[in-house]
Amino acid sequence: MPSNKSVSDAPIVQFTNCRILRSHQLQREDLWVREGKILNPEKLFFDEKGSADIQLDCKDSIIAPGFIDVQINGGFGVDFSLATDDFKSGIDLVSQKILSHGVTSFCPTLVTSPPSVYHQVLPQISIRNGGVHGAGILGAHLEGPFISKEKKGAHPEHCLRTFEAGAFQDLLATYGSLDCVQIVTLAPEMKRSSEVIRELTKQGICVSLGHSVANLSQAEEAVQHGASFITHLFNAMLPFHHRDPGIVGLLTSDKIPAGRRVFYGMISDGIHTNPAALRIAHRAHPKGLVLVTDAIAGMGLAPGRHTLGQQVVEIDGLNTYIAGTKTLSGSVATMDTCVRHFQEATGCSVETALEAASLHPAQLLGIEHKKGTLNYDSDADFLMLNDDLYVQATYIAGEEVWRQDAFGM
């Protein structure tokens, strides 16, 4: 009879006494992991006649997929939109520090910047797996500079750009390279945006609509050309109006192509979006909601003056403003805080809150076959949380990469 060693010599770890988030429900069953992947125990028992080499008692914790942050501008004093000599050590620091907040993979985000910044920074961002060194990098999110002057928010006006005759060539010249780019946020009402959206989508890059004065038909047209995401819903776009709901109207539009889903990011920090607006969006289109932090360099630091790309921002409690104004500029919220606030504000289930930070961003990026779920053969990136959704331990590829000191096994 074959033993479990006939397939692999790698140890099999069995996580017991836990509730696993699987198929949208917390289920009381064990989690089996080998070589960084989640195992099907039936195959293990019946096909391999295998058993666990190590058993870990989870003490009734919730086990959920690792969080995926698709919009994070920096944190802990590091600003991804600043071209510095030690950029790589900065991105390493952030990827290490966000493990304690349950983030196992992320998209470092650059706000509107001069072309020279993109040309210096983007070659220093490489897509990589997570591990003890930090959360995995899924590719960059470029938010701007092809956005609306009227809805620029905290983006510097002198760096904004439009598409000229070459449209896609303009974009390539601005960014320098799309090799490590995962998401581009642009304003769909800009001339020639349709051809840019089509070309980006063809290259497997997710197009997000944001910082825009688009009306609903312009937004619908962008989706028909391939756009699939909305950058921080309600922020930096026309407010909802009953005769033309603008980009917000995509949540209930009947012009979305069959088989397609529009996702939308929300900064659930209690500041960027009133809880009532959070509830409206969630009730209108629950399966599209993606929690993002939109965190800036000041996340994890004391109040005071910090940067966001070319601008100076001021942190006052949980509020972040462009210095000397009342213009909101990103957040200092962590992903686990956003998940807890979302659950509290909407009264949704624990499962729903956790999936908004894991399953939905994975589906948005088309990586749900390996991230964002605890399905068999998925990457074993997962969290142990208590019932109040505080992270107790973070695992990447089945390996513990962070643990709350007070939480002993």
* One-letter amino acid for residue 72 of the chain: I
- Single out the residue of 341, 337, 379, 406 nearest to residue 66, CA to CA: 379
28 is in an annotated binding site: no
Which tokens go with 383? 């969290």
Residues 223 and 256: their CA atoms lie apart, in Å, by: 7
232 is in an annotated binding site: yes
Give the phi and the psi of residue 124 in degrees, each rounded to 5. -95, 0
H/E stretch holding 16 reads strand 13-22
Burial status of residue 46 (CB atoms within 10 A of its CB: 0-12, 13-18, 19 or more): exposed
Residues 6 or more apart whose Cβ sits within 8 Å of residue 52: 12, 13, 14, 32
329 is in an annotated binding site: yes
Residues 216 and 219: their CA atoms lie apart, in Å, by: 5
272 is in an annotated binding site: yes
- Single out the residue of 360, 363, 403 nearest to residue 385, CA to CA: 403
CA atoms within 13 A on the CB side of 372: 24
Give the residue numbers marked as catalytic. 294
DSSP string, 190-204: STTHHHHHHHHHHTT
3-state secondary structure 46-81: HHCCCCCCEEEEEEEEEEEECEEEEEECEECCEECC
CA atoms within 13 A on the CB side of 143: 31
Look at residue 91 and give its three-state secondary structure.
helix
Binding-site residues for substrate sit at: 154, 235-236, 243, 272, 328-330
Residue set of the binding site for Zn(2+): 143, 211, 232
Q: Residues annotated as binding site?
A: 143, 154, 211, 232, 235-236, 243, 272, 328-330
